[in-house]
């Protein structure tokens, strides 16, 4: 039978143990609360990692530690204590992240006690790991301390994941802003209306992709009364492509004031652009057609652009193939001029690769043959031909937004006005 004094001693021991447990849980809760407040005031996952590592090491008496985060297929060191950073993650860290399970070493063989806990991703996996090493007097990490580390790791993971989501949202806003600016720049490059020119009926069109590219078309009055028709496509997307296209347009318009030969014009434009474009790994395909003052002859040159299609009034089809490389790659290349008659009823269709490479649901491209067929069905006016091609394109793609800009210029030969 247990004596009263023994029972009292046991009760006192249980009360002391319970008080110690309550105090420990209170200290843990205080630490988590304090961390929550402090983490909320810092920005960036590495700053969060440094703060969590510093607090955990101080509370648990660790002399060293790291926080590793998963970035793609790699583990990247986000924080280290002391500052000497290991170059690669220890196999223990790799295993902790891969298995999302904690690991501990008690230091019984003269080694420093150590522990690693995963930073949970909320889906049963881990986005990284928190590790601590070394304890005063070689003490091992106890079960309660392991639970505290796991709580700290879960808190850190939540803040890091929120920070990543916020960064993703911020980048999406920046991309949208960039696209909006690019669209404004791009709209300013395109003609507001099609020109009136004796012997010609002209209709241009542009359809933007989801991300703004670098397509361009435009018309230029030349010094001898000729009309220049240009179409071009700068590599890339976004603000960069729009700005480089603005540079290309400026060079084209400036040189076209004095130069009549399309081949010489492309040469001069290339010399202006080559240095800046090549330094940025950019280039532009470009075709330029010069219609003589009576509209009955066209002279052209093509720098790597999709070959414009010439459909004769009698049904024959010809192309205006490239006579040299794209512009902006390197200085020095030369292009050649070619010319032919352009009679009433003849049809010239200039287009960028976004037109013929537009794909249907089965990934089949639109292609030049469908373009020619749609142009033939388009009727007499250039605007009707343009509409027929765009309608057929939409039918082919099922109304899906284009993945690349689509630019089109249709030139129809019409009777010259009678002279009174």
Same domain, 142 and 195: no
Alpha carbons 90 and 94: distance in angstroms, whole number: 6
Give bridge partners of residue 229 from the DSSP assignment.
219, 289
Closest of 31, 103, 95, 90 to residue 60, by C-alpha: 31
Residue 162, pLDDT score: 83
Q: In this predicted structure, what is the pLDDT of residue 416?
A: 86
What CATH number is attached to the domain comprising 363?
Answer: 3.60.40.10
Residues 270, 138 share a domain: no
pLDDT of residue 59: 79
Average pLDDT, the chain: 84
Please determine, for residue 24, whether its predicted confidence score (pLDDT) is greater than 80.
no
Checking if the pLDDT of 33 tops 70, the result is no
Q: Say yes or no: 155 and 214 in one domain.
A: no
Is 180 contained in some domain? no
Task: Compute the Cα dihedral for 359, 361, 363, 368 and give only its sign.
Answer: negative
Say yes or no: 198 and 111 in one domain: no
Of 250, 252, 233, 241, the C-alpha closest to 183 is 241
Report if residue 185 sits inside a domain. Answer: no
Which pLDDT value is given to residue 165? Answer: 84
Q: Each residue of 337-348: pLDDT tens digit? A: 999 999 999 999
> Is the sign of the CA dihedral 160, 164, 169, 170 positive or negative?
positive
Tell whether the model's pLDDT for residue 327 goes beyond 90.
yes
pLDDT interval class at 164 (50, 70, 90): confident
Spatial distance between the Cα atoms of 365 and 2, rounded to a whole number of angstroms: 93
315 and 194 in one domain? yes
pLDDT digits (tens, 9 = 90+) for 230-262: 999 988 777 777 788 888 989 999 999 889 999
Whether the per-residue pLDDT at 22 is higher than 50: the answer is no
Q: Are 202 and 409 in contact (CB under 8 A)?
A: yes
Mean pLDDT of 257-270: 94
Is the same domain home to 204 and 331?
A: yes
> What is the pLDDT at residue 35?
64
Same domain, 203 and 333: yes
Report the pLDDT value the prediction gives residue 23, as an integer from 0 to 100: 43
Statement to judge: residues 223 and 343 lie in one domain: yes
> Would you say residue 79 lies in a domain?
yes
Residue 373 in this model has a pLDDT that exceeds 70: yes
Residue 257 placed within a domain: yes
Question: Quick check: 151 and 143 in contact, CB under 8 A?
Answer: no
Residues 139 and 266 in one domain: no
Please give the residue range of the domain that contains residue 143.
Answer: 27-168
Assess if residue 115 is contained within a domain.
yes
* Pairwise pLDDT comparison (75 vs 378), residue with the higher score: 75
- For the segment 213-222, what is each residue's pLDDT rounded down to a tens digit? 678 999 999 9
Residue where a domain stops, chosen among 100, 135, 168: 168
Within 10 angstroms of residue 188's Cβ, the number of other Cβ atoms is: 11
Q: Span 364-370, mean pLDDT?
A: 94
Whether the pLDDT of residue 264 is over 50: the answer is yes
9 in a structural domain: no
Structurally, the chain folds into a number of domains equal to: 2
Q: Flag whether pLDDT at 113 surpasses 50.
A: yes
pLDDT level of residue 26 (50, 70, 90 thresholds): very low
Q: Which of 14-18, 174-178, 270-274 has the lowest mean pLDDT?
A: 14-18
- CA 216, CA 178: separation in Å to the nearest integer? 19
What pLDDT score does 57 carry? 85
- Domain match, 162 and 265 both: no
Residues 6+ apart with CB under 8 A from 371: 309, 349, 351, 355, 356, 389
Q: Which of 168, 200, 226 is the last residue of a domain?
A: 168
Label the pairing between strands 200-207 and 406-413.
antiparallel
Torsion of CA 78, 83, 87, 91, to 10 degrees: -70
Smallest CA-to-CA distance from 347 within 373, 365, 322, 327 is with 373
Residues 144, 161: Cα–Cα separation, whole Å:
26
Only one residue has tokens 């200290």, namely: 27
- Are residue 88 and residue 163 in the same domain, yes or no? yes
Residue 38 sits in a domain whose CATH number is: 3.30.450.40
Distance between CA atoms of 127 and 105, rounded to whole angstroms?
22
Is the same domain home to 163 and 281? no
Looking at the domain assignment, is residue 419 inside a domain? Answer: no
Summarize the confidence of residues 98-121 as an average pLDDT. 83
Least confident of 3-17, 133-147, 350-364, 376-390: 3-17
Q: Is residue 136 part of a domain?
A: yes
């Amino acid at each position: 039978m247990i004596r009263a004094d023994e029972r009292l001693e046991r009760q006192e021991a249980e009360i002391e143990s319970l008080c110690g447990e309550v105090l420990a849980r209170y200290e843990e809760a205080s630490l988590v609360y304090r961390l929550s407040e402090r983490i909320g005031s810092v920005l960036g996952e590495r700053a969060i990692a440094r703060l969590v590592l510093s607090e955990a090491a101080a509370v648990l008496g660790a002399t060293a530690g790291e926080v590793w985060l998963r970035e793609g297929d790699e583990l990247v060191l986000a924080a280290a204590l002391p500052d000497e950073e290991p170059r690669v993650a220890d196999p223990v860290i790799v295993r902790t992240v891969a298995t999302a399970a904690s690991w501990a070493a008690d230091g019984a063989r003269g080694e420093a006690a150590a522990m690693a806990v995963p930073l949970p991703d909320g889906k049963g996996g881990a986005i990284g790991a928190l590790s601590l090493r070394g304890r005063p007097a070689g003490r091992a990490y106890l079960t309660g301390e392991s639970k505290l580390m796991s709580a700290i790791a879960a808190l850190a993971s939540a803040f890091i994941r929120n920070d990543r989501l916020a960064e993703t949202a911020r980048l999406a806003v920046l991309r949208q802003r960039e696209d909006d600016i690019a669209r404004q720049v791009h709209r300013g490059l395109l003609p507001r209306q099609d020109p009136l020119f004796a012997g010609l009926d002209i209709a241009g069109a542009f359809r933007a992709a989801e991300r703004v590219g670098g397509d361009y078309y435009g018309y230029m009055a030349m010094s001898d009364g000729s009309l220049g028709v240009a179409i071009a496509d700068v590599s890339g997307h976004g603000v960069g492509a729009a700005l480089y296209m603005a540079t290309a347009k400026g060079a084209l318009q400036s040189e076209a004031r004095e130069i009549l030969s399309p081949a010489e014009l492309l040469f001069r434009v290339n010399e202006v652009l080559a240095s800046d474009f090549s330094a940025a790994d950019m280039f532009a395909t470009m075709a330029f057609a010069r219609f003589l003052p009576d509209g009955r002859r066209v002279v052209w040159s093509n720098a790597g652009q999709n070959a414009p299609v010439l459909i004769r009034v009698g049904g024959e089809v010809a192309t205006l193939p490239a006579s040299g490389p794209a512009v902006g790659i390197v200085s020095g290349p030369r292009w050649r001029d070619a010319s032919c008659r352009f009679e009433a009823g003849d049809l010239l269709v200039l287009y960028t690769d976004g037109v013929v490479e537009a794909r249907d649901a089965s990934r089949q491209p639109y292609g030049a043959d469908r373009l020619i067929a749609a142009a033939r069905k388009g009727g007499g006016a250039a605007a009707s031909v343009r509409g027929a091609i765009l309608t057929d394109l939409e039918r082919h793609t099922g109304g899906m937004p284009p993945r690349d800009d689509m630019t089109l210029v249709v030139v129809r030969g019409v009777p010259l006005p009678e002279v009174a």
